[in-house]
Structure 1
Amino acid sequence: MAVTQRRGRRIMMTPDELDAFLTAERTCRVATVSPDGAPHISTLWFAWDGTSLWLYSVTRSKRWADLRKDPRVAVVVDAGEEYGELRGVELSGTVEFVGEVPRMGDPCPELDAPERLFARKVFGIDAMPHDGRHAWLRLTPDAVASWDFRKLADLPVPPA
């Protein structure tokens, strides 16, 4: 994945930092566009495989309906409380629907790795439980922007 950020280079994450951040964080915010053009934002858990963000979404949700009509999406993963701790990543592009809908656990080699990552990260187990209500979305981002305000502490303060 290429980092496409042009602004804020001093605080952007390196590829290794970005990978570590997305691997460790659990929650993201997903922005979709409704058929009437209105934005819709919802929260999901996710897994990161080093290239793609895997979203396990309820198939009877506004998010799912929006993405069926328009698969463009923007996703934000962020952390930190105080200004100097803020860090995050925005990923945008087009989602792909992967596997059966809803997911019942039928063999799907393409989902072996993301389901293992997700099950370990979210549930602390090695095998993905399937409830027949969710299905997989894969976002391989077209654009990525990141920030890590903790890097501001290392920058020299310009003279007054």
Structure 2
Amino acid sequence: MMTPEQRDAYLGEQRTCRVATLAADGSPHVGALWFVWDGGSLWLYSIIRSLRWSQLRADPRVAVVVDDGEEYGELRGVELSGTVEFVGEAPRSGEPCPELAVPERLFPAKYFAMADMPHDGRHAWLRLTPDRIVSWDFRRIPGLPRVPESG
């Protein structure tokens, strides 16, 4: 497992997560998405005309995995699960919304090297404040080949 500090740093540096949602018949759907972590919630900026969005409108339960590593001894990641909340207008146009101040500062800095959040009329925010978080870091397993740690 990662410590909370290691987990926060890891989620801050990773760029892509995989989001699992459920259809009405219970079948799963998984898609890649960009995100930001504010230390307590995972913020997902989703296209509102996506299958993900419509499935979450019907059933807001979600599981998200952020992981990396090539060799077995390098594998690490975080799984977060719970219920998403829809925050702000959809699509997001930039109307004042105090709840979005942090993600709209973190997101453009992380992905676009910009200070201001661009709004394209196609995306809106989902907030996952996880009920459950599981992490792993195989680099810490005794006896496995070591790779240099970053950070």
Q: If the length of structure 1 is used for normalisation, what is the TM-score?
A: 0.88
Aligned to 2:65: 76
CA RMSD of aligned residues (A): 1.0
User: Are the equivalent residues in 2 in contact too, given 1:30–1:75 (CA < 8 A)?
Assistant: yes
**How many angstroms apart in 1 are the aligned matches of 2:50 and 2:24?**
14
Aligned to 1:56: 45
Aligned to 2:15: 26
* CA-CA distance at 1:154 after TM superposition: 6.3
- Aligned with residue 120 of structure 1, among 81, 89, 109: 109
Unaligned 5+ residue runs, structure 1? Answer: 1-11, 156-160
**How many angstroms apart in 2 are the aligned matches of 1:144 and 1:33?**
19
Residue identity opposite 2:56 in structure 1? L
**How many angstroms apart in 2 are the aligned matches of 1:63 and 1:85?**
30
Report the identity percentage: 71
Unaligned 5+ residue runs, structure 2? Answer: 145-151
Max Rg structure: 1
Matched, 1:37 2:7: no
**How many angstroms apart in 1 are the aligned matches of 2:143 and 2:64?**
28
Residue identity opposite 1:97 in structure 2? F
**How many angstroms apart in 2 are the aligned matches of 1:64 and 1:122?**
21
Runs of 4+ aligned structure 1 residues displaced above 3 Å come to none
Counterpart secondary structure, 2:127:
strand
* CA-CA distance at 1:153 after TM superposition: 3.8
Number of residues of Structure 1 aligned to a counterpart in Structure 2:
144
User: Are the equivalent residues in 2 in contact too, given 1:84–1:153 (CA < 8 A)?
Assistant: no
